[in-house]
Each structure stands twice: as structure tokens, then as C-alpha cells.
A = this chain, B = another copy of it.
Amino acid sequence: MKEKITTQSIILFEKKGFSQTSIQDIVDVLEVTKGTFYYYFSSKEQLLMDIHSDYITNLLERQQLILDNQDLSQKEKLSRTIRLLVTDIADKGPSARVFFREVRHLANDNIENIKKKRDQFRLNIEKTVNEGVQQGEFRKGLRTDMITFGILGITNWSYQWYKPDGEVSIDDLVEIYVDMILKGIEQ
């Protein structure tokens, strides 16, 4: 039931937004009562926190798998990270959108926790770019922090407009963005 509630919430939060979705809306779809909700979650925000936590934890894990692979060039690591982010649109579109849009609704305590992990993810990218610069794969003199934000902008923005049933496939999109980004920063 807990899982059902989470899944349904994500769908509704994505469609209507966190504050526009009431607990009632969620439990109505599942045909249970509000009491049930509060049996599993201590508050609405707690649920949002869970969603965020699950999402970023999973993302970080998968990023780590890429980074741990010693055989890969920095270019390759970066490409795979871009792929990681963009492909999530297909698999986890709603979660991702909730993740990007609704951070604001987390209370201060929780927000720190999530922010730390988001920063971790970003800094991992930055580190990859930095090493790529040192190893001559990327241009010297890049402001790698700004570049990293730029990379995240390209990928994350896609959650705002990408339609899975459009004419461009996820694979094509990954290729286009990898190409644009690498050309933008390589030697």
C-alpha cells in the first residue's frame, strides 16, 4: 500500500503539482481513506521527501557505477552521465519532473539533505570535466563549474518539453546533446 501511495502521488504531483494535489485526491484514486495515508506517512511533506530521496539516491548510485569504471575516458564518463540523465525521462519522467519542480516544498531540514546529494551529483560531473581538462580531453581554461551547470541545464531542461511520443527518440536526443556538449568543450 505504501508503494501504491507513492506511485500514485508521483503521477498526481506531476500532473497537478504538489500543492494542487490534496491527500484526498491521492487516496480517492486508490479507494482508501485519508487515515490510511497517515498510517504510512507522517505528513504530506514526508511523502514528498521520500520521493526525492528515492530519486536522487538511485541517480547517485547509477552515477557512481559509471565513475567507478576505470577503463573509461572522461569523455566517455561524461557521455554516459548525460545518457543517464536523459534516459530517465523515458523511464522515470514523472518522478524526475516532480524532483526538479517540487524541491521548494520540502521543509528546511529535509531540503538540506536532498541538496547535499544534488550537489554531490553535480560535483561528480564537475570532477569528471576537471579531469578531462587535466588529461587534455577538454580545453584548458574552462570554468568547469559553470560548464557543469550548462550541461545540467541542457539535460534537465528536457524534462520541460520532451514528449516521449514525439518524432525524436531518446537515443537520438542523447546523441545530439552529447555531440553538442563535447564539441562545446573538447580540445
- Which residues from B are CB-within-8-Å of A130? none
Q: Which of B153, B161, B176, B183 contacts A154 (CB 8 A)?
A: B153
Q: What residues of chain B lie closer than 8 Å to A156, measured between beta carbons? A: 153, 157
Residues 126-157 of chain A: 1 if any B CB is under 8 Å from the residue's CB, otherwise 0?
00000000000000000100110110111111
A185 at the interface (CB under 8 A from B): yes
Q: Which residues of B contact A146 (CB under 8 A)?
A: 168, 172-173, 176-177
Query: Does A180 lie within 8 Å of B176, measured CB to CB?
Result: no
Interface flags for A174-187 (1: CB within 8 Å of B; 0: not) read 00110111011100
Q: Is the interface of A mostly helix, strand, loop or mixed?
A: helix
Chain A contact residue count (CB 8 A cutoff): 30
Cβ of A70 under 8 Å from chain B:
no
Contact assessment for B161 and A149 in the assembled complex, using a CB-CB cutoff below 8 Å:
yes
- CB neighbours (8 Å) of A168 from chain B are 143, 146
| Contact between chains at A150 and B143 (CB < 8 Å) | no
Enumerate 20 A-B pairs (CB-CB under 8 Å) in ascending A order.
A20-B105, A143-B172, A143-B176, A146-B168, A146-B172, A147-B176, A147-B180, A149-B157, A150-B154, A150-B176, A150-B177, A150-B180, A152-B157, A153-B153, A153-B155, A153-B158, A154-B157, A179-B184, A183-B183, A183-B184
Residues of chain A having any CB pair with chain B under 8 Å: 17, 19-20, 101, 104-105, 143, 146-147, 149-150, 152-158, 161, 168, 172-173, 176-177, 179-181, 183-185
